Amino acid sequence: MNSTITTTFYLAGLFSLILLWSSPKWGWKKYRFFMTIIFFVVVFYSLQNLFIWHQYSIYIFFVISFVLFYLDNFSKLVISKTTKKVFNIVLTSIYVVSILLFYSFPVVKVQIPTGEFYVGTNLITITDQNRDEIFTEKEGDFRRFRVQMWFPLNKFQGTLQKTKWIQGGNIVTEALAKDWGIPEFILDHTNMIDSNSYFGGEILKSEDKLPLVIISHGWGGFMNLHTNFAEDLASKGFIVASIDHTFGSVATVFSEEDVEFKSENALPYNLSRERFLDNANTVVKTYGNDVISTIDYFENSDIYMNHIDFDKISLIGHSTGGGGAIYASSIDNRIKSVIGLDAWVEPLEENIYEKVSHLPILLLRSEEWENHTNNEYLYNFLNNDKTRLYQIKETTHSDFTMAYMFSSLTEFFGITGNIDYIELNSSLRFIFYETFSSIYYRNGETINYEDYYDFLIRISFE
């Protein structure tokens, strides 16, 4: 949606409101002229843009305005000054509500990648026939999940089409809204948001194969919550895969007729702590095994095996996905580094940190999780020389995702923190790229990120 056209549309509403309140002072010719112009602005906007729920009120405003204009100018019906005033008060109220909705649920652009390459994307389905699906009761049901790929394009072609940010459309946004306990239509406006990626295209041809980064979302998340990180890394020469962990994602959409929603039985919250952590152990390991299955898929893929450097595989995991990344790296030596974002390691075996002591691991913790029970287990990783832990000031658990895209009210309701999301995400994109680049291209050079950013606190027990 073009922001200039949208702003003009709402300004037309404001101007029509001014005309309605002061129509006699303008003179009937000017009044008719300007209302006619406004009418065509509304028609033009309506033809250019899809209707989204939070704009219904502004359309109701215009309908009433044009009816009043017609009755005032082309009808024999005489409207009293008192009636006009009542209608004007109602219209003013509707317009104010429209503006509040417009700013509360904006159609926000995904941050532009900072690398030199255009970014291509593809969707794939992976079925691991060596693993039974444990979250269903169907016999012979193998583990199956979706993956979105991002990669630097070899050559940009004008025929390539930009993809939407959220793959799966209303199915995903309505499932997420339901999971958050709000009306299902509330988040539908985000389906209009374009990504910065182009569907299809050819992967960059390079003398050197490209590093692979696999992203793993948290419980109740979905694969597009970290698209900003994926696109930025791809624009800088990485191949990136974000997994939609079936039954852990709010909705994994294989097709419109084939959708798997988050399993409430997989991680119920009404269990004792011991049983809950047992269930969580299963979920986290399932996430980790999805990562391993993804690597296996690429090693056997005619499309990707010739482009990926399998000596340069890194993971980024948020929450449950962070725990899954740690687990995967503890049993698969193809993984060379991990970044954990509020990595939930509590459900894993207590000595898991010993199995990844050889790996460079960067752990980032939100301020919200400063006193989380997870820390008892997270701090064990600081026994490893190659592990660093930072806390980010004024952040919540969701600040590691693109939750800010859904509404400008996320901070007000405590979903996101007080930190500026543009600054935070720009910083995280820099940190991710520099971390992987230092490991693979600068002999593991140590970067003290606390020297770059005031909101980072280094946690250590030296």
pLDDT for 7 equals 81
pLDDT for 53 equals 82
In three-state secondary structure terms, 110 is: coil
Residue 32 has pLDDT above 80, yes or no: no
Interacting residues of 113 by C-beta distance below 8 A, sequence separation 6+: 119, 196, 231, 232, 234, 235, 236
Residue 400 has pLDDT above 70, yes or no: yes
DSSP secondary structure, 144-178, as one string: EEEEEEEEEBSS--TT--EEESSTTHHHHHHHHHH
Rounded Cα distance between 404 and 66, Å, is: 36
In three-state secondary structure terms, 305 is: coil
CA dihedral 283, 285, 288, 294 (to 10 degrees): -80
pLDDT for 25 equals 60
In three-state secondary structure terms, 135 is: coil
Q: How many Cα neighbours within 13 Å face the side chain of 44?
A: 13
Query: How sure is the predictor about 21, in pLDDT bands with cuts at 50, 70 and 90?
Result: confident
Token duo for residue 178: 């339901």
119-459: CATH number: 3.40.50.1820
The pTM score is: 0.92
- Residues facing 427 on adjacent strands: none
Rounded Cα distance between 52 and 352, Å, is: 48
Residue 1 has pLDDT above 70, yes or no: no
Residue 343 has pLDDT above 90, yes or no: yes
203-230 b/e with 16+ CB inside 10 Å = b?
bbeeeeebbbbbbbbbbbbbbbbbbbbb
Burial of 414 (0-12, 13-18, 19+ CB in 10 A): exposed
Rounded Cα distance between 63 and 65, Å, is: 5
Work out the average pLDDT over 159-175: 94
Rounded Cα distance between 419 and 161, Å, is: 34
pLDDT for 39 equals 84
> pLDDT per residue over 306-341, tens digit each?
999 999 999 999 999 999 999 999 999 999 999 999
The pair phi, psi for residue 168, each rounded to 5°, is 105, -15
Comparing 453 with 77, which gets the higher pLDDT?
Answer: 453
pLDDT for 26 equals 56
Q: What are the residue ranges spanned by the domains of the chain?
A: 3-104, 119-459
Query: How sure is the predictor about 175, in pLDDT bands with cuts at 50, 70 and 90?
Result: very high
> pLDDT per residue over 278-297, tens digit each?
999 999 999 999 999 999 99
Query: How sure is the predictor about 23, in pLDDT bands with cuts at 50, 70 and 90?
Result: low
Q: Cα–Cα distances in Å, from 202 out to 114, 236, 303?
A: 20, 16, 10
Work out the average pLDDT over 156-169: 91
Rounded Cα distance between 285 and 253, Å, is: 22
